[in-house]
Chain A
Amino acid sequence: EAGVTQSPTHLIKTRGQQATLRCSPISGHTSVYWYQQALGLGLQFLLWYDEGEERNRGNFPPRFSGRQFPNYSSELNVNALELEDSALYLCASSGGEFGETQYFGPGTRLLVL
């Protein structure tokens, strides 16, 4: 069974541009989670989508947004990129219930120049 997939693997943008990151969950999973792993800042929760709705967001500015499609895949959009947005963005999926294991994809490494 395929795991969580993410694309692209690497993304290079310049400051002020927009970035779009994509995630496909494990088949049967309805929840998608996004995390940011920036150097020195650890793993920070960004967003949780379940059944097409945003259920929760972390302490990030509104220029971080996303959506979940009817097939449960998800997009993360980062507008007006700043240098400190450079990080590994990890997507995870689960069935959405409290305490369920979140399975992670390989990540998208975003570099903002």
Chain B
Amino acid sequence: AQSVTQLGSHVSVSEGALVLLRCNYSSSVPPYLFWYVQYPNQGLQLLLKYTSAATLVKGINGFEAEFKKSETSFHLTKPSAHMSDAAEYFCAVSDRGSSNTGKLIFGQGTTLQVKP
């Protein structure tokens, strides 16, 4: 069965510093992996998606993530944090048993705080 673990429920960085949010997955089949962002009192917005086309995936707002099969990781990075990046970030994997179950399995989320 697929699973996702996000390391660190809370990450704090200074404005302009590197952002690194960690995600490790477990999957018995080649995974489809996603990063979503949730701003306060809003729904989830897709940042980027891994579909096996390329290991380095570029997303919106300057974010990117690198798929590393050997490490079963899909960490999210941004070279320079902005105040507007403060939000909660979720890593997710498409669940598949013997067939498509339709559901995304989410990590517990990481709250990113950006200090001025």
Contact = CB atoms under 8 A, between A and B. Distances in A.
Contacts, number: 57
Interface centre among B34, B44, B105, B108 (most CB of A within 10 A): B44
Interface centre among A56, A96, A99 (most CB of B within 10 A): A99
Contact of B106 (A33, A43, A98, A105): A43
B43 A107 contact: yes
B39 to A, nearest CB: 10
A106 B102 contact: no
B100 A102 contact: no
Contacts of A1: none
A50 interface: yes
Interface residues of A, number: 27
Interface string B62-92: 0000000000000000000000000000101
B94 A103 contact: no
Interface residues of B, number: 26
Query: Chain B contact residues: over half helix, strand or loop, or mixed?
Result: strand
Interface string A31-67: 1010100000011010010100001101000000000
Interface string A73-106: 0000000000000000010100011110111111
B51 A99 contact: yes
A48 B103 contact: yes
Interface of A: 4, 6, 31, 33, 35, 42-43, 45, 48, 50, 55-56, 58, 90, 92, 96-99, 101-107, 109
